[in-house]
Every structure is written in structure tokens, then in C-alpha cells.
């Protein structure tokens, strides 16, 4: 009987509700571990009791969305205000009112948006005003195409851009076959007038006519003369086949024709037509832009002495560096390898200033540092150029 009584007492203890057992010992246990008896009240105030509010759902779509607590503090005063430059030279194009109906219309519309987008200039953290950022200044070479003074670069005009250009150049020849002429000279005033146009973003053409005034006094082997006439017509092309923005590298090639209109003494291949072909590379590095050009001139015709002119190889190396937002300094090395006359190397120092967005001026001073045995070679050279966007 004693065993049955003990077993019944054990069963009754197990069946006793746990809440009653816990309620009698919970506060005492808090005091034993050093906590206040009000700890339970604080816990109930700051805790969430999910037992009575637990939702009963059958599918995942019926699960209610969580409710986020309201923001007690306003942190907007900790965020710095956006910068507001005094002038913004770029804008985001607005969406058009229609939606392209085909893939071809979408691609054509995208090309127009990219072309019409006025790209922002290269941003420099050290410049506080966007107006101080150097702008790209396009100028014309003596061949009509855009570039430095003699170096035709791989950069092309934007589509539908038309430039009118002219140069005023004064050249004095007082060397004959590499030797200085003591008394004689030839004064030459050269005024090229032409147009350069971009048919698209990669293809550029130029048409130029050179008006020349020459006067010879006591020059060896040449009778004294003076005449003014159209010396030659030039048609040049340039196609940009490589444009890598990530490496800031561009490359182009082109062809050209130079047709003599009058027999000028100082024009090589004086009475013939010359054909030109070249390849150009342009590489931008930080602020400076480096250019290189390699070409060949297939000459025809005869000189003033009656000798036929051979073909020649020419190469140009140049760099342009912006010194302000509207001014660029240009330095070039112009080499010419003419078979039978040796190598000729000129160093050209030039500057380009943009008076307004559509109007720029250029000054060039070539100096001969390695002289070839040309029949006529110059001693002084100065050129002033003008480029006007139409």
C-alpha cells in the first residue's frame, strides 16, 4: 500500500499545472540571482508576446506584411546638401512623346539621342568651377583636315559640323640645295581657303584652295618674277576606324589628292598631281593628348629645273596641352624623307585660342632643325590661322 501511495503522489505532482509551480518560485528565483522583483514587470512592458496574437494561415500568400515602427528622429540634417555649381553645361535629354514600334526605330532613336546629348567635359576635382574645365578646340591643319598645324590627328568633327578655315602664311626662301644664298631670296605669301565637314561621327572631308603670291629676287638658277595665282587644289579625307574610350585611344586613316593649278617654283612637283595616304593615332593621357601620323606622298610632275620628283615618306609627332579653358599649346616634330634630297626635320611650336565657341585662332612658328638638300629651302616661317564654325 505504501508503494501505491508514493506512486499516486508522484503522478499528482507531474499533472500539476506548470503555471502554478512557476508562479510560486519565479520572483524568489529573481531575488536569489540578485535581480529586483519588478524585473518581470519591465520585461513584459518591453517584450512582444506573440502567443495570443500569432496568426493562423493556411498559405504563404496570407501572411501579413510586417509593420515597421515609426521614425522617431529626423536624420536629414546629417546628410550634406547637394552641390550646386554656378553653371551646368550639360543636360539630360527628355523622353520623346512616341514609343518606337520596331527594333530598327528603337536603334535609330537611340543613336539620335546619343548624338544630340551634350556630353559634359572631363571633370577635375581641383577645379571649383565648371567654366574652368578645358574644352575641346578643333582647328585645321595646312591640309584642311582637323588636327594640329601639320599633324592630321585621329580625332574627327562631330556629325554635321562645318568649319570654314583660312591661314595667312609668310615664308622666306634663302637657301638653295642646302647652302645659304647671300643676296637672293624668294618671298612667298600663302593663303589657303577651304571647308572641312563631318559627314558622320567618323568620316571627315576637306576641300582647300591655296592662293599664292611669290616674288623672286636674285635667286640662283631662277629668273626674277612675281605672280599671284591659285597654286593648287587639295581634297583630303579622314576615317576614324578605332575609338576606345576606356583607353582614350583613337586611330584613323585617310587619302588625299593635291592637283597643281599653276606652276609655282616653290611647290614640290610643281606642275603635277600628288596622291597622299596616311595613318594617324591619338592618345590622351591626363591633360595632354599625343598624336602621331605616318604617310606617303606619291608625287608626279617636274620641278622648276625640269627634274622629276620622287615619292617621299613623311611623319609627324605632336602633343597638345591645355593651359586654360580656351587656350592650348601645341608642339610638333615634322619629318620628311625625300629620296635624293635626304631627310628634313622641322620643329613647330604653335598655340590655339578659342575666342568664342564657334571661333578660334591659331599661331604657328616652324623652325628647320635638320636641313635636306632641297632646291629651295626656307629660313623663316610664320602662320596665322582662323577656324570658324558655320
Return the CATH number at 186: 2.40.128.130
Mean pLDDT over the full length of the chain: 78
Residue 178 in domain? yes
pLDDT of residue 268: 74
Nearest alpha-carbon partner for 279 in 251, 299, 257: 251
Residue 235, number of CB atoms within 10 A of its CB: 15
∠273-211-269 over CA atoms, to 5°? 25
The owner of cell 635638320 is: 370
Averaged pLDDT, 222-232: 88
**Res 10 pLDDT > 60:** no
Residue 384 in domain? yes
Q: Output phi, psi for 45, to 5 deg.
A: -70, -35
pLDDT of residue 341: 79
CA gap 120, 287 in Å, rounded: 16
pLDDT of residue 189: 93
In the chain, the number of structural domains is: 1
Cell for 348? 613647330
**Res 92 pLDDT > 50:** no
* Contact between residue 337 and residue 343 where contact means Cβ atoms under 8 Å apart: yes
**Res 271 pLDDT > 60:** yes
**Res 118 pLDDT > 60:** no
∠61-65-70 over CA atoms, to 5°? 175
Nearest alpha-carbon partner for 331 in 295, 303, 356, 367: 367
Residue 370 in domain? yes
pLDDT band at 19 (very low <50, low <70, confident <90, very high): very low
Residue 55 in domain? no
pLDDT-wise least confident of 51-55, 266-270, 303-307, 377-381: 51-55
**Res 41 pLDDT > 80:** no
Residues in the chain: 390
pLDDT band at 52 (very low <50, low <70, confident <90, very high): low
CA gap 195, 232 in Å, rounded: 15
Residue 186 in domain? yes
Averaged pLDDT, 59-83: 62
* Contact between residue 317 and residue 294 where contact means Cβ atoms under 8 Å apart: no
* Contact between residue 265 and residue 214 where contact means Cβ atoms under 8 Å apart: yes
* Contact between residue 290 and residue 282 where contact means Cβ atoms under 8 Å apart: yes
Q: Any residues with CB less than 8 A from the CB of 365 and at least 6 apart, and which?
A: 348, 349, 350, 381, 382, 383
> pLDDT tens-digit profile of 168-192?
999 999 888 878 888 889 999 999 9
Nearest alpha-carbon partner for 383 in 99, 75, 165, 98: 165
pLDDT of residue 23: 47
Domain carrying residue 359: 162-389
Q: Residue 165: in which H helix or E strand, if any?
A: strand 162-176
**Res 237 pLDDT > 80:** yes
Beta bridge partners of 230: 211
Which residues in the chain belong to E strands, given as ranges?
162-176, 179-180, 185-198, 203-217, 225-244, 249-260, 273-285, 288-298, 312-322, 327-338, 342-356, 359-370, 377-389
pLDDT of residue 234: 93
Residue 110 in domain? no
Residue 172 in domain? yes
Of the chain, the percentage scoring pLDDT greater than 70 comes to 68
CA gap 331, 349 in Å, rounded: 5
Could you give the C-alpha distances from 279 to 160, 226, 302, 372, in angstroms and in order? Answer: 23, 37, 27, 24
The owner of cell 620641278 is: 303
**Res 85 pLDDT > 70:** no
Task: List the helix and strand counts (H, then E) for the chain.
Answer: 4, 13
pLDDT-wise least confident of 152-166, 230-244, 283-297, 298-312: 298-312
Residue 233 in domain? yes
pLDDT band at 128 (very low <50, low <70, confident <90, very high): very low
**Res 310 pLDDT > 50:** yes
∠196-202-203 over CA atoms, to 5°? 40
Amino acid at each position: 500500500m505504501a508503494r501505491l501511495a508514493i506512486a499516486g503522489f508522484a503522478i499528482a505532482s507531474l499533472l500539476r499545472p506548470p503555471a502554478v509551480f512557476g508562479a510560486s518560485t519565479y520572483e524568489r528565483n529573481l531575488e536569489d540571482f540578485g535581480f529586483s522583483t519588478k524585473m518581470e514587470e519591465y520585461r513584459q512592458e518591453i517584450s512582444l508576446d506573440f502567443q495570443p496574437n500569432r496568426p493562423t494561415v493556411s498559405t504563404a500568400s496570407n501572411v501579413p506584411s510586417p509593420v515597421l515602427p515609426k521614425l522617431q528622429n529626423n536624420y536629414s540634417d546629417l546628410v550634406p546638401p547637394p552641390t550646386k555649381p554656378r553653371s551646368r553645361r550639360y543636360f539630360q535629354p527628355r523622353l520623346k512623346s512616341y514609343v518606337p514600334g520596331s527594333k530598327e526605330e528603337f536603334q535609330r532613336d537611340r543613336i539620335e539621342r546619343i548624338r544630340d546629348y551634350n556630353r559634359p567635359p572631363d571633370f577635375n576635382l581641383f577645379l571649383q568651377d565648371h567654366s574652368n574645365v578645358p574644352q575641346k578646340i578643333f582647328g585645321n591643319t595646312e591640309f584642311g583636315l582637323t588636327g594640329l598645324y601639320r599633324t592630321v590627328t585621329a580625332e574627327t568633327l562631330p556629325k554635321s559640323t562645318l568649319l570654314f578655315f583660312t591661314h595667312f602664311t609668310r615664308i622666306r626662301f634663302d637657301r638653295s640645295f642646302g647652302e645659304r644664298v647671300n643676296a637672293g631670296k624668294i618671298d612667298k605669301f600663302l593663303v589657303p581657303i577651304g571647308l572641312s565637314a563631318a559627314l558622320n561621327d567618323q568620316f571627315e572631308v576637306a576641300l582647300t584652295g591655296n592662293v599664292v603670291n611669290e616674288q623672286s629676287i636674285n635667286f640662283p638658277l631662277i629668273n626674277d618674277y612675281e605672280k599671284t595665282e591659285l597654286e593648287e587644289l587639295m581634297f583630303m579625307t579622314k576615317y576614324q576606324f578605332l575609338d576606345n574610350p576606356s583607353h582614350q585611344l583613337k586611330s584613323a586613316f585617310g587619302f588625299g589628292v593635291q592637283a597643281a593649278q599653276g606652276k609655282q617654283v616653290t611647290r614640290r612637283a610643281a606642275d603635277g598631281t600628288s596622291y597622299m595616304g596616311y595613318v594617324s593615332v591619338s592618345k590622351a593621357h591626363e591633360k595632354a593628348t599625343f598624336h602621331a601620323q605616318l604617310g606617303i606622298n606619291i608625287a608626279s610632275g617636274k620641278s622648276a629645273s625640269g627634274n622629276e620628283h620622287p615619292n617621299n615618306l613623311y611623319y609627324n609627332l605632336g602633343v597638345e596641352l591645355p593651359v586654360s579653358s580656351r587656350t592650348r599649346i601645341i608642339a610638333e616634330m615634322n619629318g620628311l624623307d625625300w629620296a635624293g634630297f635626304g631627310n628634313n626635320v622641322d620643329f613647330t611650336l604653335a598655340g590655339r585660342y578659342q575666342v568664342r565657341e564657334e571661333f578660334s585662332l591659331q599661331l604657328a612658328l616652324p623652325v628647320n632643325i635638320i636641313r635636306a638638300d632641297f632646291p629651295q629651302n626656307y629660313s623663316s616661317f610664320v602662320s596665322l590661322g582662323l577656324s570658324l564654325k558655320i
